[in-house]
């Protein structure tokens, strides 16, 4: 393996707890842009120590323009902004990569383990895939696994890391903070950064064949919206049907169809 793909978000970085801290137009944002960059840099350092030659980083928060390019090592390929493709937070990933790393990821909508928990868009109340509540991690990990690419590592809030380990204990994790409703409880960021680097270094030296998630044969996707008008509009997407007043259902055998759905109705 000589290529690693990193998808980076901000709501799961050390100490973050308020929406203003995620918004580049707000003064609160500057520090957390720096911390997001530092956590990505730590993962990159770990990958370099493990002998990885190509490290592709997808800046996957909001505008896609958060990570400081000059803070990255020269070997890093940085993807900024958005292509508009269904892969969304995984734009740039293809079968040539040997592993995927998630940095700064967060719990999904309705989970109390992160004050910033959400899934894709605040207008969404809940997304389930085959009855399982889907976080952004699960959505993106399924895509990586559909390409037979193993998930090596994830950093994010403690609740998410526990769910990831329950899903596949071979995936290395780093809990950046503990969420308690509207608050975050975190250790010093330097300790988080060091743990990310060391765990990435160690996991990338392992056999990752068991880190590919087993995909279902069929996908039953249900999306609940906060407002019934959103559900009604989304129900006209090909293959969708309205369930009740604020929920749609979509079924397919091809996971890429799920990504296309989410791209257009979320």
Sketch the domain layout of the chain as residue ranges. Answer: 3-118+136-211, 219-265
Q: Which tens digits make up the pLDDT trace of 146-170?
A: 999 999 999 999 999 999 999 999 9
| Residue 1 pLDDT | 84
Q: In this structure, are residues 97 and 150 in contact, taking their beta carbons and an 8 Å threshold? A: no
CA distance 30 to 23: 9
| Residue 188 pLDDT | 99
What is the spatial order of strands in the sheet that 3-8 belongs to? 76-79, 54-59, 3-8, 99-105, 151-157, 172-180, 183-185
CA distance 196 to 156: 10
Q: Per DSSP, which regions of 14-110 are E strands?
A: 54-59, 76-79, 99-105
Q: In this structure, are residues 224 and 109 in contact, taking their beta carbons and an 8 Å threshold? A: no
| CB atoms inside a 10 Å sphere around CB 9 | 26
| CB atoms inside a 10 Å sphere around CB 194 | 15
Q: Which tens digits make up the pLDDT trace of 86-110?
A: 999 999 999 999 999 999 999 999 8
Q: Which tens digits make up the pLDDT trace of 29-71?
A: 999 999 999 999 999 999 999 999 999 999 999 999 999 999 9
| Residue 71 pLDDT | 94
Q: What is the CATH number of domain 219-265?
A: 3.30.1360.130
Q: In this structure, are residues 111 and 162 in contact, taking their beta carbons and an 8 Å threshold? A: no
| Residue 126 pLDDT | 96
Could you tell me the fold of the domain covering 3-118+136-211? Rossmann fold (3.40.50)
Pinpoint the alpha helices (H) of 121-157.
Answer: 136-146
| Residue 110 pLDDT | 86
How high does pLDDT run on average in the chain? 97
For the full predicted model, state whether its pTM sits above 0.85.
yes
| Residue 85 pLDDT | 98
Average pLDDT over residues 65-90: 97
More confident of the two residues 122 and 33:
33
């Amino acid at each position: 393996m000589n290529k690693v793909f990193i998808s980076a978000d901000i709501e799961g970085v050390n100490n973050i707890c308020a929406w203003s801290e995620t918004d580049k137009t707000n003064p609160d944002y500057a520090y957390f842009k720096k911390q997001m960059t530092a956590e990505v840099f730590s993962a990159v350092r770990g990958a370099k120590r493990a002998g990885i030659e190509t490290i592709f980083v997808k800046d996957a928060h909001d505008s896609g323009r958060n990570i400081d390019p000059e803070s990255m090592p020269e070997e890093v390929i940085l993807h900024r902004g958005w292509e508009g493709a269904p892969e969304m937070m995984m734009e740039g990933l293809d079968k040539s990569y040997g592993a995927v790393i998630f940095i700064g990821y967060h719990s999904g909508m309705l989970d109390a383990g992160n004050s910033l928990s959400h899934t894709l868009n605040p207008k969404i109340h809940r997304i389930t895939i085959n009855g399982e509540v889907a976080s952004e991690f699960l959505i993106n990990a399924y895509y990586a696994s559909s390409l037979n690419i193993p998930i090596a590592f994830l950093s994010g809030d403690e609740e998410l890391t526990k769910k990831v380990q329950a899903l596949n204990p071979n995936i290395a994790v780093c809990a950046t903070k503990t969420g308690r409703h509207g608050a975050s409880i975190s250790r010093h960021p330097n300790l988080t950064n060091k743990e990310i680097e060391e765990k990435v270094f160690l996991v990338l030296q392992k056999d990752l064949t068991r880190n590919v998630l087993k995909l279902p044969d069929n996908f039953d996707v249900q999306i609940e919206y906060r407002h019934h008008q959103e559900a009604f509009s989304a129900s006209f997407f090909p293959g969708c049907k309205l369930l009740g007043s604020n929920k749609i259902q979509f079924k397919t055998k091809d996971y890429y169809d799920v990504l296309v759905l989410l791209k257009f109705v979320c």
